[in-house]
Structure 1
Amino acid sequence: MRKSLFGIILIASLLVDCASSSGPIQKKSVKPETKASLTETHSQTSSQTISTTKFIFSPVAQTAPKFLLPTIMVIPAETGNEAISLNIIQTNPLAKASMEAINQYLTHKQYNVKSLEGQTQIDAIVQIQGDVFDQEADLSYIASLSLGADIYIKFASILQKDQVLVSLSAYEASTGRLLGTQTSEVNINRGNTTRELTQSAMRKAMPGLESKMIAYWNEDAQNGVQYKIIIRLEGEFHDNQVEDIHSEVSNLLKQSFTKVKINAMTDKTMDLTVYVNPSQFQDAEEVYEFIRQGLQGSYTVKKRNLTQKLIFMELR
């Protein structure tokens, strides 16, 4: 009996010693530096999620910066005599209302808008047509070059029995190339005047035309700012000399500007469009002066006419 009791006491003692040596059971703790690291990771993840959301939905990410948008000129479509057509804004209330609606739309979208202002400007454009181009050249095209537009829009409207129909066309200013057209109509009702209906039809047509213009512009503007260059050869040049002049001028421009587009070359005229880096050439005067100096050793270069987008020079 004594032996049994002694054995029980001995086993109990051993169990108590094991428990005390192992210590109390504790929950697994996270080291301070590990905890801080996890907190930082969570914070970064949340921050990245918010940042990404802002990038996707931010209006700035969806709208081109203002300085990248083209300068646009709005003018009436021809109705026979082009000089009269350019001046129709002064005499036709519906034409004036149409232009106002288009200009308001473009201004709201932050485009830089150019407009003809009075007979003096029109006379100057007609003079350029006679000096630089032939009499069949599009005055709208010349006007856009003169005023420094990148794109020009022609508009027309027709009043029918029960509808107002409008038509818009957009052109590249440096070449006159058609970029797109858009039409729209508005039903005539007794609650609105013809002026209001015409303006409504113009505003309705503009988003479709704008998408076509911007598709062209986003691709083309990557090359730089456009300038139209016309070089007239004065004097007697043999065929081989003319070809040498063509090559020398083309090489100078291609080596100096981001892109050169040759529109036409004859024995008397070179018609080109150049794309320049705006950080290197601020305006048409600087572009002209660079070309003049580049050709100065071989030829006499004289400036005949210079506007914001048009450079017309003689080479002897």
Structure 2
Amino acid sequence: MRKACRPFLLRASFSSALGAVSLLAAEPCHAEPTATDRAVELAYQGRAQFEAGHYREALTLFEQALSSAKSPVFDLYIARCHKALGEWLRALDDYERTLKAPEDPENSAWTSAQRSAAAEREELAAKLPRLTITAPRVVGGKKPTIQLDSVPLDWPVSARPLDPGKHLVVARYLGQEETREVLSVAGEGLTIELSFGDLQESPPLAPKAPPEARDDKEGTSLSPWFWGSATLAGVGLTAGAVTGILAFTTASEVRSYCEQSGCPGNVPPDRDMQDMSELSRTLGDVSTVSFIAAGAFTTAAVTFLLLPREPAAKKRARTQVQPLLTGLSLRSEF
């Protein structure tokens, strides 16, 4: 029977922290294991993993032991696992939890764990890296938004404790973003200065003036320059067409005379035919000039048509073309 009881007695150090030494000694060796027994067994396995350097596995075992039975010894080893894994902030929380456990002066393992937690916590807090973020060019009431490893931080960031190792800082301000990868070292402070270019907070936009009321009856009018150019283009086309027809008719008569009577050097011998030939050339020149002028005025009319229109005046521009014996009369009112 003593052989069968030996494994339980070897666990007295962890069991004493749970206040269960007398319980283990009084129980028969064939009794069913209690939650305390399971916690002690898990704690011994966790300590073996911790001493072998397998901190993540040890952490899992100690957390399982803590869920079965509460003890500052388990909290102490959980803190040591987090510290060994570089998770110093979590380790500080675990040390705090160890110190908040009720004191038991009669339990030496219990009080020893709390004394160790207090000393280790003070030593770790002194070595904790701290982060400060500045932004000299930030002005106005709007604050930048900061994220450290995807965790939002309040602005300003001054001596913010963090775990040692690599961290990612993402800062946003007025539409710009800065990303910094930083390396924190134990016992050192780290300062980041954000530039954000030369940005300043944009002043509030002035309200837009309401559109002016418009009399729908009047609508919008075309520019008088459009009407004048369009009219002159029409006059040029008309004059070019008329003089062109007269020039063609006159030239045909001279050509018929030359075919019947002959024209040495393309000059009719008859004086009247010579005048008619000269008139044909003059009319042709006038027709060409008129068509060129019509093209220029047409271009101008299109240009004025595309310009912004103004509200129509009560008195609209009027243009009148009147035929006369000597030509055409153009009269415009603006």
TM-score tier, shorter chain, comes to under 0.3
TM-score, scaled to structure 1: 0.19
Structure with bigger strand share is 1
> Which structure ranks higher in relative contact order (CA pairs < 8 Å, sequence separation ≥ 6)?
1
Larger radius of gyration: 2
